[in-house]
């Protein structure tokens, strides 16, 4: 771990970031379980980000949570990567469910 670039953020749990680090990330779905087709949407979106925003080592999408092993590329923060993964995946799932999401201005 490169302590010169170590950043520590506290929210609900501490979040540690260091340039060039490998991250194991777990996040859960907001509303419980997602269908198999929705799991495929999430997995495909995560794979699309490989080599653009991060180097993806492994991904496992379960009905109610996701595990990732990745290395952020360039100066891309893990926070920015996760907002992209979760936000775009949620939008795509809502589109397949016929939900229209209105974003605040």
Report the pLDDT value the prediction gives residue 16, as an integer from 0 to 100.
78
Least confident segment among 3-12, 45-54, 82-91? 3-12
Which of 81, 83, 71, 73 has the alpha carbon at shortest distance from 1? 71
Of the two residues 32 and 90, the one the predictor is more confident about is 90
Q: Which domains does the chain have, with CATH numbers?
A: 22-93 (3.30.70.1290)
Contact 54, 45 (CB under 8 A): no
Global pTM?
A: 0.80
Confidence of residue 65 (pLDDT cuts 50, 70, 90): very high
For 66-79, the pLDDT digits (tens) are 999 999 998 789 99
């Amino acid at each position: 771990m490169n302590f010169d670039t170590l950043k520590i953020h506290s929210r609900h749990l501490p979040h540690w970031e260091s340039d060039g680090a490998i991250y194991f990330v777990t996040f859960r779905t907001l509303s419980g379980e997602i269908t198999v087709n929705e799991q495929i949407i999430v997995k495909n979106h995560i794979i699309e980000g490989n080599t653009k925003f991060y180097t993806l080592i492994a991904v496992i999408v379960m009905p109610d949570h996701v595990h990732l092993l990745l290395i952020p590329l360039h100066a891309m923060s893990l926070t920015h990567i996760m907002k992209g993964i979760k936000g775009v995946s949620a939008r795509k799932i809502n589109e397949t469910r016929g939900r229209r999401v209105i974003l605040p201005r």
